Structure 1
């Protein structure tokens, strides 16, 4: 089976959309970065480096230093699909990120977004 097209898309090409979605609702780039760091274990410097290198979503998640074990607590529907039911691991990681940014844009408290 062919890989989904999103796997080869660079995180940097989608990142401005995450920022715009958050800022449109009064949230910040720093909060989006915090979510990404929480999810993946990247430092801010490493995150900035991955964005600058136009790293694909597939490589971004495959090379993540430490995927947060609490990410399995991220549940709900994103793009019409229940996150917790996605079988393919890379797609599930992408949708976790989408869901977290969506929660941020909807005004959820950061402590709840980060499952704290």
Structure 2
């Protein structure tokens, strides 16, 4: 039976801020904040800040939100900077969480089309 939900529950292995890009932690169904464009990106955290051991809702679609780490244009492929914020990328080999639905600048919160993959 398929899972029909826009969120997956994961346990924070450390501090996970609101609307940041996350990657898998060391334990099954855990997460940490992504720190590089080449990390295996899962999606974004929910709208709350979390400490280690708390449950984090991982947004998996179809149109979640993310906090930006720089200037982004609508349609840009989005990857993670060192702080887990979304930045635009065209670099081959970078992993992405999807595509910006609207434009924004650093620390704006925007919606994006969830489409994980590799550039």
TM exceeding 0.5: no
TM-score relative to the length of structure 1: 0.29
TM-score relative to the length of structure 2: 0.28
- RCO higher in 1 or 2 (8 Å CA, sep ≥ 6)? 1
Higher helix share: 1
